[in-house]
Amino acid sequence: MGEDRGLLPDGVSGPADLVDRLAGVGYLADTGLATAAYLALRLHRPLFCEGEAGVGKTELAKALAALLGAPLIRLQCYEGIDASQALYDWDFPRQLLHLRAAEAAGATDADALESELYSRRFLLARPLLAALETTPSVLLVDEVDRADDEFEAFLLEVLSEYAVTVPELGTLRAAVPPVVVITSNRTRDVHDALKRRCYYHWLDHPDFEREVAIVRLRVPEASARLAGQVTAAAHALRGADLVKPPGIAETVDWVRALAALGAVGLDPGLAAATLGAVVKYREDAERVRALDVGALVARAVAGS
Ligand SMILES: Nc1ncnc2c1ncn2[C@@H]1O[C@H](COP(=O)(O)OP(=O)(O)O)[C@@H](O)[C@H]1O
Ligand SMILES: [Mg+2]
């Protein structure tokens, strides 16, 4: 028997290979993240990614799906989400149509009709069930911190068994459990029980070199100088105690905006004029102005 490679794609024999494969689908991971993803695939455990908004958590799940050639099935969490929204629903309108048609055709066996109405074909799979029924697949449980405790407990149950029980149908079990990525922006702490089930990784903002590389990948039309200077300025803004520090997407947007204006480098005037690409709160805009964008950019540009 060969070694158990879990869900690893062919040719991936260590985290370094995964760094390369992820880069091949446009995702630049550092060694820490690649190691976490490698182990999650190899040991077949959900990967729990926590970090501030915009550090690349959601994108990682997309990249894993792309490199595995598997569909990405996304469960976006929100306040008040419950099991039926995550798991399944009965397709009531279609059940009703079927019932009418059966009655018109003179069906008389009520029991038979009922079991027909509550068969798999009238069950609408929501993301969790869809992922259990799709092999292979990548299940993204996005922003779990927005859901409540009860939902977390329910999720833990599904991820422990990779099966769900529909009272009318019995237990539906995944032939091969999906690759699972759970993300949290840490607006609250997620319970230990759920984390214990997972491989955990904290994502930080990328370091300067990696972020420049991401920017250049996303905005190839921007000059290297512009990419470097804007990234340096974005890093400086992250240290400025803002309500919403810029994520990678904001750095990318900022560079894209400047490139669209024909800029090949950043100067204080341009930075002030395009701040809306990177600072999205009025308080933050005021704070940045008070800090003196000019000086901040001049320092960042000098240092990059
Ligand atoms: N490692 C990365 N490599 C390439 N692009 C990245 C990376 N991390 C983030 N991005 C870019 O930044 C954007 C924001 O990332 P996202 O995954 O949405 O952040 P999060 O889910 O952590 O809030 C993505 O759309 C993507 O373009
Ligand atoms: Mg996200």
57 lines ligand 1 (CB under 6 A): yes
pLDDT at 294: 73
Mutate to test the pocket of ligand 1, among 58, 59, 74, 253 (most ligand atoms within 8 A of CB): 59
Mutate to test the pocket of ligand 1, among 25, 248, 251, 254 (most ligand atoms within 8 A of CB): 248
Q: Which amino acid is at 271?
A: A
87 lines ligand 1 (CB under 6 A): no
Ligand 1, atom 7, lies closest to the CA of 56
Give the pLDDT confidence of 125-158 residue by residue, as tens digits.
999 999 999 999 999 999 999 999 999 999 999 9
Q: What is the pTM of this model?
A: 0.92
Ligand nearest to the CA of 60: 1
Q: How far is the CA of 63 from the centre of ligand 1 (A)?
A: 10
27 lines ligand 1 (CB under 6 A): yes
Q: Are 211 and 229 in contact (CB under 8 A)?
A: no
81 lines ligand 1 (CB under 6 A): no
Give the pLDDT confidence of 87-134 residue by residue, as tens digits.
999 999 999 999 999 999 998 898 999 999 999 999 999 999 999 999
Q: Are 232 and 278 in contact (CB under 8 A)?
A: no
Q: Which residue reads 């990328």 in tokens?
A: 206
Name the residue among 243, 238, 291 with its Cα closest to residue 268.
291
Length of the chain, in residues: 304
Q: Strand pairing partners for 202?
A: 50
Q: How far is the CA of 74 from the centre of ligand 1 (A)?
A: 16
Name the residue among 91, 61, 95, 94 with its Cα closest to residue 76.
61
pLDDT at 304: 65
- Cα–Cα distance for residue pair 196/219, rounded to 1 Å: 38
pLDDT at 1: 46
pLDDT at 295: 78
184 lines ligand 1 (CB under 6 A): no
88 lines ligand 1 (CB under 6 A): no
CB neighbour list of residue 21: distance below 8 Å, 6 or more residues apart? 9, 12, 67
- Per the omega criterion (within 30 degrees of 0), is the bond before 71 cis? no
pLDDT at 5: 80
Helices 248-260 and 208-218 cross at an angle (nearest 10°) of 50
Q: Strand pairing partners for 89?
A: 124
Ligand 1, atom 9, lies closest to the CA of 56
Instruction: Using 50 as the pLDDT threshold, list the residues of the chain that sit under it.
Output: 1
> H/E/C letters for each residue in 191-237?
CHHHHHCCEEEECCCCCHHHHHHHHHHHCCCCCHHHHHHHHHHHHHH
Q: How far is the CA of 214 from the centre of ligand 1 (A)?
A: 9
